[in-house]
Structure 1
Amino acid sequence: MPSEEFIRGMLYLSLTVVGIPGNTAIILAFVSVLHWDNRLLAADVIVLHLAFVNLLVVTMRCLLETLASFRLVDIFSEAGCKGVIFIYRTARSLSIWLTFVLSAYQCLSIAPPGSRWSSLRTSLARYLWVVFLTLWLVNTCMSSAAALFSLGAKNVSMSANHGINVQFCFVSFPSKLSKEANGAAQVGRDVVPMVLMTLASLIILIFLYKHSQQVKGLRGSSGGRHGGGRGSERRAAKAVVALVTLYVVLYGVDNGLWVYTLTVRKTMSNSLISDLRIFFSSLYSALSPLVIIASNRKVNGRLRCAVQVKTIEEQATTPATV
């Protein structure tokens, strides 16, 4: 096996062993919460949906890239490429938009009770299924073009015009205009939620700063402890800011490489750019579960409970020694 394929396989394997267990743990934790509490809050539903699409991203790209790099499976035929690219791009864009929805909802959650923004949060929670349905429909339609023109590596000439190398597959557009139009649509689809979620995170940071100043003033004047009623919202807000920061850094690199791919010639043979793009675009889906598990008390509590139950069961089944 060439060293380049081995390194690629190890990189994708590292994302796989982190991303699949992490996202699966979040999904199982919220299923457990739903089973015992018979309901999920709107923020929980958004995080659960985000973990599901992140699991799709890691599975469809990182796991399959790992298997293909180590030559364990050959799934990248023409039909396989169309399916992988379609599901991956749909899940990837949904991951971006759901991160924005989560940041927007958390931004509304820290609004004062009874305000116009607070009522907007209630409306968003009530019609959250409409938001999910709209995002699925829009992103599915936008991902269909690349899947339509995708080809297996064995079925395309390296000299084909208007093509984009996506490692084991190629996307060969019929014209330069269609390639640039599709590329511009994808960049816009990523940049718009990035700007919106950055704005929401700035609002959250401003609120957290003002709140900390108010708490310091109250403590200085009365010597007591204040402001404990909405601690959970502030912790969740900090976690959302961390997720948005992670997104902006990783997808900023990804979109920069994507623009480079669209603007330079002979990118069909540039597999390094393809590897870097796929790696950075998948890195968020693999690392974001770590942020969620560390910051979400429901997920953390359910996982701790599961570990404790398993430990007790193992101790109960272990024979006693004299």
Structure 2
Amino acid sequence: MAASDVAIGIIFLSQTMVGIWGNFHLLCHFLFLYFTGCKLRSTDLILTHLSVANFLTLLCRGVTQTMAAFGLKDFLSDFGCKLLFYLHRVGRGVSISSTCLLSVFQAITISPSISRLAELKVKAPKYIQSSIYLSWILYMLTNVIFPLYVTGKWSNKNFTSQKDFGYCSSISHGKTRDILYAALLSFLDVSCLGLMLWASSFMVFILYRHKKRVQHIHRTNASPRSSPESRATKNILLLVSTFVYFYILSCMFQVCLSVINNPNSFLVNSAALFAGCFPAVSPFLLLRCDFSASRLCFAWVRNRKTPDFIRKI
């Protein structure tokens, strides 16, 4: 085994283990708060499903990619390849839609009373659960034909156009069908991305305007610590910019894989690496973006009397 393969395997292993631990920690945190009888916020349900989707994505792609990097090339059957790639696509889609839903719901929550979104403040929490389940169903249906494009390396079928991913292969059913299917998947992802950027920009604008209105209060505060609005704005920008950065890089490599007939191992490994970056990093960003830091350790923090503006964020 070459030293480069060992290095790539260690990178995939580190990314997978860190991501699984972070999402597992985030999921256990919400389960602990739920079973201890604490009142959960509306966004906690979104974060729970986001951690499950990230967990599914890392397990189905990160573990297999790690095994392939360490030299285990033909360990999956044709059915195993189809199932793992399908679950990976569903988990990736739900991860994107959950992040989008989280941003939109937060934008509605902090919208001023004179805004058009104000009337949705009462209705929005009622539709969170149905929206999450709808995203699961939507991505399960749109990716149902994805197994047709994946086959195991042990498959006895011969295809004229086939791409090797190390442990599985993908096949082409014609450029027209491939382009239409890729456009369908891209439309869903780009729509979620556009909504998330709009919601995040709206939140930053609201927080900036709120900071200007109460600027005289912050001037009298001798503490060098930044205002809650500034910290919230930085956390929102950090989460959104991280998502957009890794998503764009992942899409670029996916497009290269689709265009190039015989992609080399560097391109295949890079595409898999960037596809797992956001699921691995997002739980730590979400824990950091929780504006009540001690809430991550003790359930009784939820019963503290804090300003509604900060708690709803």
Same fold (TM over 0.5): yes
Shorter-normalised TM range: 0.7 to 0.9
**Aligned counterpart, 1:205:** 204
Q: Is this contact kept in 2: 1:32–1:302, CA < 8 A?
A: no
CA 165–191 in structure 1, closer or farther in 2 if over 3 Å, else same: farther
1-structure distance, mates of 2:231, 2:195 = 21
1:219 shift after superposition: 4.6
Q: What's the TM-score once normalised by structure 2's chain length? A: 0.84
SS at match of 1:117: coil
Deviations 1:85-141 (A, max 9, x none): 000000001101110000101111111247542331332210222211211111011
Taking the TM superposition and a 5 Å limit, the aligned residue runs for 1:237-248 are: 238-248=234-244
Q: Is this contact kept in 1: 2:108–2:121, CA < 8 A?
A: yes
SS at match of 2:22: helix
2-structure distance, mates of 1:265, 1:199 = 34
CA 175–300 in structure 1, closer or farther in 2 if over 3 Å, else same: farther
SS at match of 2:40: coil
Q: What's the TM-score once normalised by structure 1's chain length? A: 0.82
1-structure distance, mates of 2:163, 2:122 = 44
Find 1:253's aligned residue among 242, 245, 249.
249
SS at match of 1:208: helix
**Aligned counterpart, 2:24:** 24
1:295 shift after superposition: 2.6
Deviations 1:240-272 (A, max 9, x none): 43222111000101112222333x3424x4332
Q: Is this contact kept in 2: 1:76–1:152, CA < 8 A?
A: yes
| Uncovered stretches (5+) of structure 1, i.e. residues with no partner | 306-322
| Uncovered stretches (5+) of structure 2, i.e. residues with no partner | 300-313
Taking the TM superposition and a 5 Å limit, the aligned residue runs for 1:234-313 are: 238-262=234-258, 264-267=259-262, 269-296=263-290, 301-303=295-297
Considering only aligned residues, what root-mean-square deviation do their CA atoms show, in Å? 2.7
SS at match of 1:84: helix
Q: Is this contact kept in 1: 2:111–2:206, CA < 8 A?
A: no
Amino acid at match of 1:213: K
**Aligned counterpart, 2:62:** 62
2-structure distance, mates of 1:49, 1:143 = 18
2-structure distance, mates of 1:234, 1:124 = 26
Instruction: Determine if the alignment matches structure 1 residue 171 to structure 2 residue 206.
Output: no
1:208 shift after superposition: 1.9
**Aligned counterpart, 1:309:** none
CA 270–146 in structure 1, closer or farther in 2 if over 3 Å, else same: farther
**Aligned counterpart, 1:136:** 136
Q: Is this contact kept in 1: 2:236–2:289, CA < 8 A?
A: no
CA 281–22 in structure 1, closer or farther in 2 if over 3 Å, else same: same
CA 237–94 in structure 1, closer or farther in 2 if over 3 Å, else same: farther
SS at match of 1:127: helix
Q: Is this contact kept in 2: 1:30–1:299, CA < 8 A?
A: no
1:25 shift after superposition: 0.5
CA 276–137 in structure 1, closer or farther in 2 if over 3 Å, else same: same
| Aligned sequence identity (%) | 25
Q: Is this contact kept in 2: 1:19–1:287, CA < 8 A?
A: yes
**Aligned counterpart, 1:95:** 95
1:168 shift after superposition: 1.9
Q: Is this contact kept in 2: 1:29–1:299, CA < 8 A?
A: no
**Greater fraction of residues in helix:** 1
